[in-house]
Amino acid sequence: MASVSARSTAKAGTKTRRTPTKPTLVIVESPAKAKTIEKYLGGSYIVLASMGHLIDLPKSRLGVDVDHEFTPEYLTIRGKAPLLKELQKAAKKSKAVLLASDNDREGEAIAYHIRGALAQKNEGLDIKRIVFNEITPQAIRDAVKEPMALDEDKVNAQKARRVLDRLVGYNLSPLLWKKVKNGLSAGRVQSVALRIICEREAEVESFIPEEYWTLEADFKKGRYSFTGELVSFNGQKVDLKSEADVQTVVNAIAGAPCTVEDIRDSERSIRPKPPFTTSKLQQTAANRLGFTSKKTMQIAQQLYEGVNVGATRIGLITYMRTDSVRVSDVALKDVRGYIGEHFPAELPPEANAYATDKKAQDAHEAIRPTMVAYTPESMKEYLNKDQQKLYGIIWERFVASQMTPAKQRSTAMDVAAGTALFRVSASRLVEKGFYKVIKLLATKEDKESTLPEMRMGEELKLEGYRPEQHFTQGPARFTDASIIKVLEEKGIGRPSTYAPIISVLLERYYITRENRQLVPTTLGRKIHEILVDSFPDVVDTGFTAGMEQMLDEVEESRRDWVGALGQFYAPFKKRVDDIMETLQSFKGSLDEPTDQVCEKCGRPMVKKLGRFGFFLACTGFPECKNTKSIPLARCPRPGCDGEIVARRKAKGRGREFYGCSNYPACDFITYFKPTNSYCPKCGWFLVERFDKKRGSYKACINPACDYLHSQDGEHGNDD
């Protein structure tokens, strides 16, 4: 009867309802990426973000069964359950799921855990993996057309890394709690980086500078003036140890004619550098733009995930975690087309080839613009200043990498004055080559200098001598750029970990950043001392590099991760247990007595080391819990009896500044660290300043005082 009724209803012309087509669910890591990809795929797709990992090891316990093949115990991360349920609910309404997390170990693990969670609630659901190197319409559509299975080897490599780090951290941290201070922690890779920084600091402190002098002479020919440096005297290489040595030379050649003795011209070819890898991008951004490695990666992530350009959303660069300089054929065709149109004379006959480091995984292309036509100038109105700068150097480096070399002609002229020989150098580009696109990446060394036409034996007018005292420079403290370079050279960490390594050490207050230099704290030195004495193998650079290689071999299916961890763990755990029993306690050894008295109970206060540096605490703890910041200087405001202390903004871990303890009654602040010295002219305190020309120096904080004062001093209201 039902079928007859249905047929008669249909004959009567009543429309039948169509079952709506289920969409395909795409899961990415970040909302910004989701927004960009959803615009590319259209209405038959729903794109949601997992916000990174949803499932991980438990936070409050080891979570690894060391007796049964190091099986990890995975749990939904606290606070992430509602998001996971939302994804499961969306998957139930979808015909298929595409997991589009980042194409690296962490991304593969995120996809693996999400697949497991979705499959539990949606049996038989088609769940596949898609990967892409750039977020452009074509790359996303191509990826969607070719979904694939998850890479189990990559998942195992991440699992091995996570378990290894957990085994090290969860065994070393309790040791530090018991022997040094509660709340401390030690990581596998971070501890090695801390060792490198501490050992460099020891070199810096032990270095004894030696005095030496240079002597320059200013010459003139017609309207041209140029300077030469003394290179030899009496036929010997110059070695001026004191001002007296300089005077000996000057006296010996006084009145002697200055004649051109030799002129040598040479020409060299300067090849463009390859496009950026992660480490080279972080190093260049630190040196040229003053960016920390963390800031560089944050901005690169924004450029990769997409920015609004008019009505469209565009991913401007390829994936920013890579150790390869490889470039796709499509990108080569794109950049060569651009160069051919705008710089035809600088287009080489064949594409320039660059060798990727042997230690590189080569999983991703180099960092490059997704489209060369998106020039820095054309993107200027859509990017903020920091995005403009970073995108500019990425674009310049990539386009330059496929242009012809530059040719530089150098002239070295030797000028004889008695038995002294001065050398004048000049260089200029005779063919600009790739330098035609270099703007942000230009350096002082790229500037040209010229000499007038000269002939042998020609006499020059001596304008005068310029002796200058110098001191030998010891090893430099590490910066973000130089520590990343060392980590990369030693095979410690991977492109995704360089920035987090530095961030973790800063957050734990094992190091501080002073004038862009990384300096170990008292706490950091103590941790380093204990770890090096007790676990020399674990914090050895060779061991750590070997562990990174092991993880690579697991990913390439050439190594069993369970067996590798088994070889490491048994002797490591035995060593931890032995040290726990035998190592003396250092608790309280970092505390210092002071002459300060607690204003609440009258007991003396002690200088203690906390998570964010030293502070004053009452010795009556726990009965009296009074603490306060350590005063660094007197407040200079007339009529104010407050003291200058270190402060941070209430929300987050903002930039540290120094303000009056009487705030808000007194709103004096400065971003320069006070010293324990006061100005002899006005009595205000001196602060630590730094610039490239003078290095570190002290200056008066008073804007009205000229005692070593720079006009850009910061002080005033805390806004």
For residues 174 and 168, what is the distance between their CA atoms, to the nearest angstrom? 11
- Could you tell me the CA-to-CA distances from 80 to 6, 55, 85, 542, 688 in Å, in that order? 48, 8, 9, 38, 45
213 with 241: CB under 8 angstroms?
yes
DSSP 3-state assignment of 627?
A: strand
Q: Are residues 335 and 437 in the same domain?
A: no
In a domain? residue 12 = no
Task: Give 477's DSSP letter.
Answer: P
Q: Are residues 295 and 344 in the same domain?
A: yes
In a domain? residue 706 = no
Q: Are residues 306 and 260 in the same domain?
A: no
In a domain? residue 716 = no
**All residues at 6 or more sequence positions from 411 whose CB lies less than 8 Å from its CB, including other chains:** 263, 264, 265, 425, 426, 427, 451
490 with 246: CB under 8 angstroms?
no
Bridge partners (DSSP) listed for residue 229: 216, 423
Q: What is the pLDDT of residues 663-687, one digit of tens each?
A: 889 989 888 888 878 888 888 888 8
Identity of the residue numbered 62:
L
In a domain? residue 117 = yes
Q: Which domain-ending residue is among 401, 434, 461? A: 401
The closest alpha carbon to 190, from 170, 160, 156, 165, belongs to: 165
CA 513 to chain centre: 13
By annotation, the residues acting in catalysis are 319
Decide if pLDDT at 384 tops 50.
yes
Backbone angles phi, psi at 175, to 5 degrees: -60, -45
Long-range contacts of 445-451 (CB under 8 A, 24+ apart): 449/425, 450/426, 451/224, 451/226, 451/411, 451/413, 451/424, 451/426
Label residue 350 exposed, middle or buried (CB < 10 Å: 0-12, 13-18, 19+): exposed
Q: 13-38: buried (b, 16+ CB within 10 Å) or exposed (e) per residue? A: eeeeeeeeeebbbbbbbbebbbbbbb
Between 90-94, 180-184, 284-288, 404-408, the lowest mean confidence (pLDDT) is in 180-184
In a domain? residue 14 = no
Q: Are residues 504 and 355 in the same domain?
A: no
CA 110 to chain centre: 24
CATH number at residue 288: 1.10.290.10
Q: What is the pLDDT of residues 617-658, one digit of tens each?
A: 999 888 898 988 888 888 998 889 888 888 766 444 556 788
pLDDT band at 397 (very low <50, low <70, confident <90, very high): very high
pLDDT band at 488 (very low <50, low <70, confident <90, very high): very high
49 with 29: CB under 8 angstroms?
yes
CATH number at residue 558: 1.10.460.10
For residues 451 and 425, what is the distance between their CA atoms, to the nearest angstrom? 8
For residues 596 and 614, what is the distance between their CA atoms, to the nearest angstrom? 14
Q: What share of the chain is helix, strand, coil (3-state, %, to 5)?
A: 35, 25, 40
CATH number at residue 242: 2.70.20.10
pLDDT band at 20 (very low <50, low <70, confident <90, very high): low
Task: Taking residues 138-151, report their average pLDDT.
Answer: 94
Task: Taking residues 529-541, report their average pLDDT.
Answer: 92
Q: Are residues 132 and 34 in the same domain?
A: yes
Tokens representing 456? 């042998």
Domain count, the chain: 5
Q: What is the pLDDT of residues 318-352, one digit of tens each?
A: 999 999 999 999 999 999 999 999 999 999 999 99
pLDDT band at 180 (very low <50, low <70, confident <90, very high): confident
In a domain? residue 18 = no
Task: Taking residues 113-126, report their average pLDDT.
Answer: 93
Q: Are residues 75 and 110 in the same domain?
A: yes
Label residue 129 exposed, middle or buried (CB < 10 Å: 0-12, 13-18, 19+): buried
Strands 695-700 and 643-647, how do they pair? unpaired
DSSP 3-state assignment of 479?
A: strand
370 with 304: CB under 8 angstroms?
no
552 with 357: CB under 8 angstroms?
no
Decide if pLDDT at 1 tops 60.
no
For residues 668 and 647, what is the distance between their CA atoms, to the nearest angstrom? 12
Q: Are residues 602 and 690 in the same domain?
A: yes
Q: Are residues 41 and 131 in the same domain?
A: yes
Q: Are residues 126 and 172 in the same domain?
A: no
pLDDT band at 362 (very low <50, low <70, confident <90, very high): low
Decide if pLDDT at 478 tops 90.
yes
pLDDT on residue 611: 64
Q: Are residues 647 and 682 in the same domain?
A: yes
Decide if pLDDT at 227 tops 70.
yes
CATH number at residue 36: 3.40.50.140
Tokens representing 492? 């410690």
411 with 265: CB under 8 angstroms?
yes
Q: Which structural domain range is residue 114 located in?
A: 24-150
pLDDT on residue 703: 84
DSSP 3-state assignment of 120?
A: helix
In a domain? residue 718 = no
pLDDT band at 695 (very low <50, low <70, confident <90, very high): low
User: pLDDT above 90 covers what percent of the chain?
Assistant: 66
Q: What does the mean pLDDT of the chain come to? A: 88
Q: Are residues 601 and 685 in the same domain?
A: yes
Decide if pLDDT at 610 tops 90.
no
Q: Are residues 465 and 396 in the same domain?
A: no
The closest alpha carbon to 322, from 557, 152, 552, 494, belongs to: 494
The closest alpha carbon to 221, from 453, 551, 491, belongs to: 453
Q: Which domain-ending residue is among 383, 401, 419? A: 401
Q: Which domain-ending residue is among 471, 498, 528? A: 471
Decide if pLDDT at 446 tops 60.
yes
In a domain? residue 127 = yes
User: pLDDT above 70 covers what percent of the chain?
Assistant: 92
